[in-house]
């Protein structure tokens, strides 16, 4: 797929995360892998004003050229691509329910079988670190180990997938799980599925995706 097509897809997906209520304003950021690096949304430009030429190309050393600066969170995009061969697209946003749990420092436990859609038995919450820092990137990568999504304490949500459309779908699903979990907590502590069942579900998801 050409860079110009991917640049437009990034803008379209960025507009979609706001439209779906996954993000607000310019707070989120998105990227997609290309040979030798990645394309990432620029810093501080409203998505509705973003043009394909505003999308920033970066290499895996964190270098870029051009008038636009990359998102301040470019470090965890770079580090995910450097360490995760399965990552072809990365999405970071501040969904209301994910952010609610993140502000409480709570992970999403296996209260529902769909938690396995993020690749494991839970959706971890990375400890807090200042946005845009290498420390935040390191903590996020640890929380993403063997997972496709995590929460970022007092911040938001981060996920990776095989393409932008799947990244958007995963973000929507994780936000829905966060909402239902937070609602369940208003009544009591929900029953949790055991490790054996979650492993079984994860395998069923893996086979389903292969089809």
pLDDT for the residue numbered 24: 87
Sequence spans of domains, the chain: 3-210
Instruction: Write the pLDDT tens digit of every residue in 172-202.
Output: 999 999 999 999 999 999 999 999 999 999 8
Query: Is the whole model's pTM more than 0.75, yes or no?
Result: yes
Q: What percent of the chain has pLDDT over 70?
A: 100
CB 45 within 8 A of CB 27: no
Residues serving a catalytic function are: 73
Q: Where are the alpha helices (DSSP H) in 84-194?
A: 96-103, 134-143, 164-185
CATH ID of 3-210, from 3.40.250.10, 3.40.50.300, 3.30.450.40, 3.40.225.10: 3.40.225.10
CB 145 within 8 A of CB 86: no
């Amino acid at each position: 797929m050409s860079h110009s097509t991917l640049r437009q897809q990034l803008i379209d997906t960025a507009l979609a995360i706001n439209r779906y209520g996954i993000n607000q304003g310019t707070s989120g950021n998105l990227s997609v892998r290309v040979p030798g690096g990645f394309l990432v949304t620029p810093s501080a430009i409203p998505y509705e004003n973003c043009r394909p030429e505003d999308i920033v190309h970066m290499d895996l050393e964190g270098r870029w050229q051009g008038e636009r600066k990359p998102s301040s969170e470019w470090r965890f995009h770079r580090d995910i691509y450097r360490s995760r061969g399965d990552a072809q697209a990365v999405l970071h946003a501040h969904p209301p329910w994910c952010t609610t749990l993140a502000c409480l420092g709570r992970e999403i436990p296996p209260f529902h079988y769909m938690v396995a859609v993020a690749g494991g038995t839970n959706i971890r919450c990375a400890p807090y670190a200042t946005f845009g820092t290498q420390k935040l990137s390191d903590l996020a990568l640890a929380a993403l180990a063997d997972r496709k999504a995590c929460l970022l304490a007092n911040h938001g949500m981060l996920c990776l997938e095989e393409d932008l459309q799947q990244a958007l779908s995963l973000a929507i699903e994780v936000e829905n799980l966060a909402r239902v979990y937070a609602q369940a907590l208003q009544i009591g502590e929900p029953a949790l599925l055991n490790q054996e069942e979650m492993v079984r579900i994860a395998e069923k998801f893996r086979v389903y995706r292969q089809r």
